[in-house]
Amino acid sequence: TTTYLKTNFIFQKKSCTYVFLKKLYFGFKFFPFCYNIQKIFEGISMKFRIYYEDTDAQGIVYHSNYFKFCERARSEAFIKSGIDIFSSRAYFVVNKIEAKFIKSAVFGDMIEIKTGVDSIKKASAVIRQDIYKVQNLKGENINELIFSAFINVVYMKDKKPSKFDENVLNFLKSF
């Protein structure tokens, strides 16, 4: 069974504010999702600038780089949590991605990747990651959704899908 996070309310917990939004049509089906608008840990929201290496010859971010940006944000979240999930014994693998490219980022843009857990099963979770363009090269503030993805990750132990360890499950439930 899948556990979905509650929708349509705001609450405070341990000095963090959570905003749960209504179901959003994503093009495939309706998904509930949530964002933590303050930091639970430093990795929940990650910002960085688009450099030349991220773009094609026209200065537009190459499509596969959006997946790299999401991977960086997910990895940073786990690194900052202190949970060791990057060992040869226990780790996550991606087994499905549903993505929607909405607009392009270009050279010099500042982007922000927001990460939240959409649903949790015994050995897998669906991570929602949205990328926003927050500032252009001229310094103009923008808050525009440009990419959205639902990424299914499976917890592996000794090269087999495995039930989440308690600390990993608690971490996933925390955001």
Active site residues: 56
Residue 132 in tokens? 């926003």
Chain position carrying tokens 């910002």: 47
- Whole-number Å distance between alpha carbons of 13 and 38: 11
Chain position carrying tokens 């026209």: 58
Q: Phi, psi (5° rounding) for residue 62?
A: -65, 140
DSSP state of 26: -
- Could you tell me which of 36, 31, 170 has the C-alpha nearest to residue 116? 36
Q: Phi, psi (5° rounding) for residue 173?
A: -70, -20
In sequence order, what DSSP letters do the residues of 86-132 get, joined into one string? -SSSEEEEEEEEEEEE-S--BTT-EEEEEEEEEEE-SSEEEEEEEEE
